[in-house]
Structure 1
Amino acid sequence: MNSLNASFSQNISIVHPEYFFIIGLSGIPYSSYYYIFLFITYFITIIGNSIVLIIIALERNLHSPKYIGVFNLALADIGETNALIPNMVKTFLFDSRYISYNACLVNMFFVFLFSTMQSFTLVVLAYDRFIAICLPLRYHALVNNTNMTLVLSAKWAFNSSVVALMVSLITRLSFCESNVIQSYVCDHGPVYRLACNDNSVNRFMGTFITTLYLVIPMIIIILSYLGIFLALNKITTWESRLKALKTCVSHLLLVGIYFLPISCAYIAAFMLSLAPNARVISTSLAYAVPPMLNPIIYVLNTAEIKDIIQKMFKNRSTRDISK
């Protein structure tokens, strides 16, 4: 009975602030140049990924499992960029650092949802390359449009549930001392650390999210490429090896620009005890830059998309000349 009373008294004492105050980039010298960079990043990301989405949607030749994955990645890139950069610009450029409690939780949900979808989509694309190179005769049986769509749909549902659980656990915290977030966005860690009651469940959830969406995907991708490299060694001719390896170049670049910056940012933050401003800059860049580079990499390194874009420009120039 005493434990029930204690639990009840704890529940009724929970305090939710009306708003949070975000101070992540305040005090950083020449921060206005960073806002300009963010605006350029946002513009390139939206335009580049929108072009990829339109090309894949309209071109029937690209209606394949691989490009369904690329389409999903571009969709996640646009979603994360819209959830992240406009709020950063509004918060700091227009000196509007206040964000309501509910808006903070909503923003946290969408930033993590789209970021986790990028991670899982890269795992799915790694699986696609693994089957294509290691089990080419079974590729169409194991990887097809229906299977790829079902897998990605299941991942959207799973990620939404996990991230929603993470965000909902914030509501059990009481913010009775400070509402100042030491970050550039409503980030999970800086928010739950403000709580004045027990946040051990939230700390565990943060570790679980990092392991599930950063550590495990990296391990799976590394193992898949170990299998790919072993399979390539069995190919007798160097030309055939190079041709098979070229199909992986775009994905390897995407994996590098997504996982390396985020991993380095987290490792530096925890092991090197970075100053708050340095941590904010490194993590914000790690989340903002990859969605901008993804469409550029696929356009430059994927023959199918590059050929389609070249044909579009040739057709347009031909029409202009005929006029």
Structure 2
Amino acid sequence: MRQQPKEDGVIMYSNASAGEFLTLAPLGLSATDIYPAFVFGALTYFIIVFCNMLVLTTIAVSKKLHKPMFILLFNLPISDMLGATAFFPQLLLSIATQNRVISYPACITQGFLVHFYGTGNLLILTAMAYDRYTAICCPLRYNTIMSQNNLIRIIIAIWIINVVIIVTLFVLVVRFKVCRTNIVDLYCNNPSLLKLVCEDTRLNNYYGIVFIFVLQGGPLLILIYTYAQILRTCVMTNHTDARRKAIQTCGTHLVVFLILQINTTFTLIAHRIEGASPFIRRALGVSILIFPPLLDPIIYGLKTAELKQSMLLYLKRNLCPIKL
């Protein structure tokens, strides 16, 4: 690739971006921080993978968990591990080599997986909210509405919608040639990739605005409606135990949803505000890839009684030594 003279600190390139190397935002680690940061990052990634695999395996092997609620939940650890794997291995490599350089194809791949994870989580959590609404507000019709065929259709729709939206998002990005090489975030994502472009990105910006309103506003409206109906039903019911269980299950779901929703919304908006603090934007951006994958299996595992009991039974059966 032929390098052109620098203009205002920006290196201009004349050919396509496919062979370009980009530089991610510095981690700001001192020499004494490298080893603890690597150990902490590796341990966090191990915990994320272990906890999510535990939830996956428990749901897969426990027949009593083969219900719509848990089958929908089964998709969440898959998405969480995808997001964590898009971020942590590259981060750990950067810490170990003290090198923040990443190839353009690798950056596109990381950005694609990060957005695929975030969108997938929102869609899965929205489907789970609908499932809880149906179970609590329409119990007599629940088995009909959430039948096996309908459940399969919902899951397939989640992943097809996710693929179509994110593929379109990144097809609009890769059509450009980059004229800058510095990624403004700690990992690659659509907004930071667009900031490498010197061409007209209005179509991308319009799509991004629609993306934010549809994927952030749509699930939020569905959540508000379903939880308002659930709260109304719980207040009207005379069964104290049923009310307690419903509120506990829905409260767990609400916490998980809001953690992802708030962080994602503020991160995307911060990219569109000139005066937004880069530190806060990066901190919120990283938190999206750490806290949901780390907290989702822990929150659901501790707060969902059936899943908790099955997980403990699975661990006892497989980790405890066999007594002769």
SS of 1:99 mapped into structure 2:
strand
Contact 1:188 1:206 in 2 (8 A): no
- Displacement of 1:128 in angstroms is 0.3
Q: TM-score, normalised by structure 1?
A: 0.86
The C-alpha deviation readout for 1:295-320, integer Å capped at 9, x for no partner, is 11111111112212333455568864
Provide the rounded CA distance (Å) in 2 between the counterparts of 1:242 and 1:232.
8
Q: Establish whether residue 152 from structure 1 lines up as the match of residue 155 from structure 2.
A: yes
Provide the rounded CA distance (Å) in 1 between the counterparts of 2:188 and 2:227.
35
Provide the rounded CA distance (Å) in 2 between the counterparts of 1:73 and 1:244.
20
Aligned counterpart, 1:80? 83
Aligned counterpart, 1:210? 212
In structure 2, the CA distance between the partners of 1:202 and 1:264, relative to structure 1 (3 Å rule), is closer
SS of 2:142 mapped into structure 1:
helix
Residue type of the alignment partner of 2:169 = M
Q: Establish whether residue 57 from structure 1 lines up as the match of residue 60 from structure 2.
A: yes
Contact 2:24 2:182 in 1 (8 A): yes
Contact 1:17 1:175 in 2 (8 A): no
Aligned counterpart, 1:23? 24
Q: Establish whether residue 260 from structure 1 lines up as the match of residue 229 from structure 2.
A: no
Aligned counterpart, 2:250? 248
Provide the rounded CA distance (Å) in 1 between the counterparts of 2:115 and 2:69.
24
SS of 1:175 mapped into structure 2:
coil
Provide the rounded CA distance (Å) in 2 between the counterparts of 1:131 and 1:156.
21
The C-alpha deviation readout for 1:274-295, integer Å capped at 9, x for no partner, is 4323321221112221111111
Contact 1:24 1:277 in 2 (8 A): no
Residue type of the alignment partner of 2:137 = C
Provide the rounded CA distance (Å) in 2 between the counterparts of 1:185 and 1:315.
40
Provide the rounded CA distance (Å) in 2 between the counterparts of 1:50 and 1:236.
38
Extract unaligned runs of 5+ from structure 2.
1-13
Aligned counterpart, 2:93? 90
Give the 5 Å matches for 1:118-267: 118-176=121-179, 178-266=180-268
Contact 1:46 1:78 in 2 (8 A): yes
Contact 1:28 1:277 in 2 (8 A): no
Residue type of the alignment partner of 1:90 = L
Extract unaligned runs of 5+ from structure 1.
1-12
Identity across matched positions, percent = 28
Q: Return the match for 1:110 from 97, 113, 116.
A: 113
Aligned counterpart, 1:273? 275
In structure 2, the CA distance between the partners of 1:256 and 1:37, relative to structure 1 (3 Å rule), is farther
SS of 1:96 mapped into structure 2:
coil
- Displacement of 1:151 in angstroms is 1.0
Provide the rounded CA distance (Å) in 2 between the counterparts of 1:161 and 1:187.
17
In structure 2, the CA distance between the partners of 1:93 and 1:206, relative to structure 1 (3 Å rule), is farther
- Displacement of 1:173 in angstroms is 1.7
Contact 1:22 1:180 in 2 (8 A): yes
Provide the rounded CA distance (Å) in 1 between the counterparts of 2:58 and 2:313.
12
- Displacement of 1:257 in angstroms is 2.5
- For the aligned residue pairs, the C-alpha RMSD in angstroms reads 2.5
How many corresponding residue pairs? 309
In structure 2, the CA distance between the partners of 1:134 and 1:42, relative to structure 1 (3 Å rule), is same
Residue type of the alignment partner of 2:22 = F
In structure 2, the CA distance between the partners of 1:99 and 1:52, relative to structure 1 (3 Å rule), is same
Contact 2:120 2:159 in 1 (8 A): yes
SS of 2:102 mapped into structure 1:
strand
In structure 2, the CA distance between the partners of 1:68 and 1:197, relative to structure 1 (3 Å rule), is same
SS of 2:25 mapped into structure 1:
coil
Provide the rounded CA distance (Å) in 1 between the counterparts of 2:319 and 2:91.
40
Provide the rounded CA distance (Å) in 1 between the counterparts of 2:263 and 2:49.
21
Which piece of structure 1 moves more, 208-217 or 259-268?
259-268
Contact 2:86 2:114 in 1 (8 A): yes
Provide the rounded CA distance (Å) in 1 between the counterparts of 2:204 and 2:131.
34
Provide the rounded CA distance (Å) in 1 between the counterparts of 2:29 and 2:304.
39
Residue type of the alignment partner of 1:117 = G
- Displacement of 1:34 in angstroms is 4.8
Contact 2:112 2:189 in 1 (8 A): no
